[in-house]
Amino acid sequence: MLFGVATFPTDYAIHPAELGPALEERGFESLWVAEHSHIPSSRRSPWPGGDELPRHYYAAVDPFVALSMVAAVTTELKLATGIALVPQRDPIQLAKEVASLDRLSNGRFLFGVGGGWNAEEMADHGTEDFEGRWKLMRERIEAMKTLWDDTLEEAEYHGDLVNFDACKVWPKPAQQPHPPIHVGGGFPHGVRRAIRYGNGWVPIGGRDGDLVAAAADARQMVAEAGGDPEAFEVSIYSAPTDPGELERFAAGGIDRAIFALGSLPRDETLVALDSLVTARDAVASS
């Protein structure tokens, strides 16, 4: 089982250019950074995590800027969005950002995607049909796949919600046909979306019941859809640090445990990372 770390990079937390090497030195496989462009003050949409919304939700720096800083000072660490809010991003520009980061990092990008929970935030970006965001996300990802395909001299896409004529766009991602797409969301809907246009599923720990059982069910769904269940990755976002639970995840076929890291200053971050190393190594040595 692989081990990653997820965080909200902010202006008051450790700098991404310091965090990346600290993770790589400690042997973590990946860094996943969250995204929110802003949080409307009306706060009409309930936060799934509770009543009090933490500050880092509206203080996060842009994920692609943060990951670019990390890419420049690391060589092996995978760079992931965890997750990118596709329904509130222009697909042509997002495709350019993904391809640029993957190309300049020598193929280290993992594209974590999701539909989001904040309807007001999305509406400010022009996506006013909150219930229709899933179809919009699918079409935008399908469109981006055409833009990334290095076998096509020109790319075009014609859907109900996304539509553009033939165009030329480079660079293409280093990973072909595209970087791995990891789809966030609950079971079973998140799995169905991942099967349709992704390469893996990223549920949040503690929100979907027994995730080992859900992972087995997900792979069965992949097989029934004609896919390869062994190639379909299941990554647990905000994974527990309890060694016993992590051992159960590893034995149950979970591919990646992604630990949550708070938006902390440098020294506190390094202490927290060492604690996560202890939890990880307790599993690796068992």
Predicted confidence at residue 172, as pLDDT, reads 98
Q: Which residue ranges in the chain fall short of pLDDT 70?
A: 285-286
**Dist CA 215 CA 212 (whole Å):** 5
Predicted confidence at residue 285, as pLDDT, reads 59
Amino acid identity of residue 120, one-letter, is: E
**Dist CA 218 CA 109 (whole Å):** 24
Count structural domains, the chain: 1
Predicted confidence at residue 144, as pLDDT, reads 98
Predicted confidence at residue 207, as pLDDT, reads 81
Q: Can you give the residue range of the structural domain that contains 185?
A: 2-284
User: Looking at the whole model, is its pTM more than 0.95?
Assistant: yes
Predicted confidence at residue 286, as pLDDT, reads 54
DSSP assignment string, 54-117? -THHHHBPPHHHHHHHHHHT-SS-EEEES-EEGGGS-HHHHHHHHHHHHHHTTS-EEEEEE--S
CATH number where 14 lies:
3.20.20.30
The β-bridge partners of 79 are 31, 109
